[in-house]
Amino acid sequence: MILFGIGFSNLLLQKNLIKKIIGLNIMDTATYLFLALKGYIDGRKAPVVVDGIQSVEAYVNPIPSGLVLTGIVVSVSVTALMLSLTIRLYRRYHTLDLDEISTLLKKEEK
Amino acid sequence: MDFIRNFPFFSIVLSLFSGPLSSILGGKWAKRVNLAVIVLCGVLSGAVLWYVRRTGEAFVYTMGHFPAPWGNEIRAGILEALMAAFFCVIMLLCMLGGTREREEEIEASKQNLYYIMVDLLLCSLLALIYTNDLFTAYVFVEINTISACGLIMIKQNGRTIEAATRYMIMSLLGSGLLLLGLCFLYDLTGHLLMSNIQESVHAIAASGQYQRPLLVAICLMCVGLAIKSALFPFHTWLPDAYGYSTVSSAAILSSLVSKGYIFLLVKIFYRVIGFDIFSGSKVIHVLFVFGIAGMIMGSVDAIRESDIRRMIAYSSVAQIGYIYMGFGLGTTEGMIASIYHVICHGATKSLLFVAASGIMDASGKSRYFKDLDGAGHRNRLAGVAFTVGSLSMVGVPMFAGFISKLFFSQAAVGHAIKMLPTLIALAISTILNAVYFMKTVIRIYSPMKTPVMDGKTAETENQETMSGNPAPLPEGYREITVRQQPIKAAAMILFILLNIMLGLNSEPLIGLIEQGLEMFS
């Protein structure tokens, strides 16, 4: 939860685009940790069949792990997209500060 | 099992696969495929609507034939099919209305990329509407965000890239909150399918345990989706994104993308949490307050704007405020009014964007009010279309906006505490709407003149325009007749007809929405 808070405020408050993206990743990771924690049951094994199928009692809940995997795929693609946008902006304006870019844009229009 | 039951799945998969297909096609063929897919999805959704009305009950389609608690499901009722068909119609008209702008503004080698994005957007919207599984909904929310971002930045200049970055940041905040809300709910209930969650939520609410986590989960999901659909305090990304992207993107974004999230929120209220639990929680008061603030602040911002596209974008903020205010009333009538307003706003706002582009064409591509004098005479059809859209937004009888305002006030009457604020806010925002839309309409029908004026209100401008003298057309200003832009003209005429139809003949639609909401619970 604390990690989620750190990531969230980073994404919202940081001016630097790269730091915003790091914030986003911290936020996502926090959510995945939360999910993984909730899926774990003490003293049981991962739901992978090694030596024959055992009883239901032997395994932890596999669904949260599935959700985490899906979530990781989503966050990887989103991060890639954000990074490419950042590169575009940097090449054009030579700064990573979003507010500075806005002022440059306003100057451009006049 | 009837064959029609496969149709929702077909329409999702069809639009999903047309995306990769478009990537190997040239721009022209990609466009044809895209239009064909939209039409086909519309027809399929129409068939589903007809089927569900005939059988009188919603059906559930199990993906891969795994039974309920494990498998992934698609669910189609009247409301879902209605929204899907409606989204297809609006998307088709938006694509038609912006054809020429797209071809001018997007590099030739990137044309087909645009259609990939539109295909994926359609796919994710349909999936959001039909899915019965919360995590699938989350995945498609992300697909929706990414393709919407592509639509914003396809017109390559600094403005749109910056707008796309801002949009992504806000959207990612929203989807992060939504995901966390989903995780909380999964913890509490142990299910991901909406119907199963609803049962567990009812059991939890009845047992009196875990009340606070449940409330937190509801809050997180509401705030997440509210950020994504640009409810008032989170609307900062919206004017840039709608104001600078190409016309059909702006129309699609404002009338479909944000509406997809709102529809998902409606589904969560009804299908996941259960309407009685939701309306008993305090979340609705928060939504109500922010909705009203959005209605007024959005309109005030729109009045201060000197750019026609950004003005329409700010007006969207106000309209989203209406919709959330309807949710905030916490009654079934309020929900019906909100859903009707989703439809009516979708039809009107895209009309306004397309008409505004026609007006700008006739005025040398300028987007500032001071250059738009007399544009309604130079491009008559766009002028008429813009006037119809404005009248509908203001809420003049005969047009779509009037009906939804009527329903909002009817829903508010009889509500003990919220009646007065709702009615006052409706009145104030109607007046504000009238100020900025009528200002524009008067402007585009006033004669040309050279001096620039700074009039702020409709009255002073009216007086000043009376004294203006007709001048020869400056460079870039041209007359545009219907024949020069047949496709856009057809799209605008269809939009106008749709608006008047929604305004004059709303009973069947309201009936459908009522039945659909009944099916939800």
Q: pLDDT (tens digit, 9 = 90+) per residue, B207-253?
A: 777 777 788 888 888 888 888 887 777 777 787 778 777 777 888 88
What is the average pLDDT across B67-71? 65
pLDDT-wise least confident of A20-24, B124-128, B312-316, B454-458: B454-458
Distance from CA of A38 to the nearest CA of B (A): 7
What is residue B72's three-state secondary structure? Answer: strand
Residues with Cβ within 8 Å of residue B371, at least 6 apart in sequence: B363, B364
In B368-387, the residues whose Cβ lies within 8 Å of chain A are none
Domains of chain B, by residue range, sit at 282-521
State whether B183 and A31 contact (CB < 8 Å). Answer: yes
State whether A81 and B146 contact (CB < 8 Å). Answer: yes
Position B22 confidence tier, pLDDT thresholds 50, 70, 90: confident
Q: What is the pLDDT of residues A70-99, one digit of tens each?
A: 888 888 888 888 888 888 888 877 777 777
Which pLDDT score is estimated for B460? Answer: 39
Distance between CA atoms of residues B112 and B108, nearest Å: 8
Q: What is the pLDDT of residues B373-402, one digit of tens each?
A: 667 677 777 788 888 888 888 777 777 778
- Whether residue B103 is predicted with pLDDT greater than 80 in this model: the reply is no
Distance between CA atoms of residues B188 and B267, nearest Å: 19
In A7-46, the residues whose Cβ lies within 8 Å of chain B are 7-8, 11-12, 17, 20, 24, 27-28, 31, 34-35, 38
Residue B66 near chain A (CB below 8 Å): no
State whether B176 and A89 contact (CB < 8 Å). Answer: no
H/E segment holding residue B374: none
Which pLDDT score is estimated for B470? Answer: 40
**Residues B30 and B111: beta-carbon distance below 8 Å:** yes
- State both tokens at B433: 């709407």
Residues of A in contact with B135 (CB under 8 A): 67, 70
Residue B187 near chain A (CB below 8 Å): yes
Distance between CA atoms of residues B422 and A89, nearest Å: 43
Which domains can be identified in chain A, with CATH numbers?
A: 2-109 (1.10.287.3510)
For A93, the closest of B135, B158, B192 (CB atoms) is B158
Position B278 confidence tier, pLDDT thresholds 50, 70, 90: confident
CA B68 and chain centroid, separation: 32
Residues of B in contact with A17 (CB under 8 A): 165
State whether B173 and A67 contact (CB < 8 Å). Answer: no
- State both tokens at B509: 């639609």
**Residues B131 and B264: beta-carbon distance below 8 Å:** no
State whether A85 and B187 contact (CB < 8 Å). Answer: no
Distance between CA atoms of residues B417 and B329, nearest Å: 10
For B179, the closest of A71, A93, A108 (CB atoms) is A71
Residue of A nearest to B162 (CA): A89
- Whether residue B454 is predicted with pLDDT greater than 50 in this model: the reply is no
- Among A13, A27, A84, A106, most B C-beta atoms within 10 A, so best to mutate, is A27
Distance from CA of A31 to the nearest CA of B (A): 6
Virtual CA dihedral for B19, B20, B26, B30, nearest 10 degrees? -20
- State both tokens at B280: 């008993």
Q: Cα-flanking dihedrals φ and ψ of residue B363, to 5°? A: -120, 35
Position B124 confidence tier, pLDDT thresholds 50, 70, 90: confident
**Residues B415 and B518: beta-carbon distance below 8 Å:** no
ipTM above 0.90, yes or no: no
Residue A78 near chain B (CB below 8 Å): yes
Distance between CA atoms of residues B363 and B379, nearest Å: 9
**Residues B145 and B242: beta-carbon distance below 8 Å:** no
Q: What is the pLDDT of residues B464-514, one digit of tens each?
A: 444 444 444 455 555 655 556 677 777 777 878 877 777 777 777 777 777
State whether B149 and A81 contact (CB < 8 Å). Answer: yes
Distance between CA atoms of residues B87 and B260, nearest Å: 9
Which pLDDT score is estimated for B466? Answer: 42
Tell me which of B170 and A59 has the higher pLDDT: B170
